[in-house]
Amino acid sequence: MSIRQTIIERRSIKQFNGKKVEKETVLRLIEDAAWAPNHGNREPWRFVITAGEDQSAVHTLLRDLVFPNWQTEEPDALAKKMEKFTLPGAYAFVIVPEDARQKERLEDYAAASMLIQNMQLLGWEDGIGMCWKTPGFLDNPKFRTALNVQNGERVIAMVQIGYFDQMPPAKPRKDVAQIVSVFGE
């Protein structure tokens, strides 16, 4: 598959089939994706991942954050609601420094964003889908503590990683003429 074809055909996957993604696979994706451009070769990222068979700890954390009154839920209804968290085969939480200098903070965020895109493209080549999510609980103190996020750091992404059975259709994109103007014309 060409790079162009991979870029055009990749989709955000939101419905996973529950097949687990091995830790070694996630580590390889991150290792390869880390060749993303980053100013001064700062590599301004770190990850907390969960992969392989036992992901119950992250499922419990997500349940407690998203459904704080989960004990009052009917078990089958709660299990259905939790599928969006239990069916991905792995997770990568992306953490970057919150540099006080705006230029460096923006460069670091941009570099980590490129790394995430690289992960998505590399995974796509292997039949692995991903969805980059930014839920509000990423800044929750309980969540930050669970991931050992330090002062001066920020979780910028929850990347759901997994296998899927059905590819979502492409959404239309703007025509290049709508988004590009030529300077001086």
Residue 75 CA to chain centroid, in angstroms?
Answer: 28
**Which domains does the chain possess?**
3-179 (3.40.109.10)
Task: Give pLDDT, residue 185.
Answer: 87
Return the axis-axis angle of helices 75-86 and 56-66, rounded to nearest 10°. 110
- Edge-first strand order for the sheet with 46-51 is 46-51, 90-97, 153-162, 129-133
Alpha-carbon distance values, 132 to 71, 112, 185 (Å)? 28, 12, 37
CA distance 117 to 90: 17
What are 96-108's pLDDT values in tens digits? 999 999 999 999 9
Alpha-carbon distance values, 64 to 26, 47, 156 (Å)? 25, 21, 20
What are 29-63's pLDDT values in tens digits? 999 999 999 999 999 999 999 998 889 999 999 99
Give mean pLDDT, residues 1-13.
92
Which residue type occupies 22?
E
Token pair for residue 19?
Answer: 């097949």
pTM over 0.85: yes
145 pLDDT band (50/70/90 cuts)?
Answer: very high
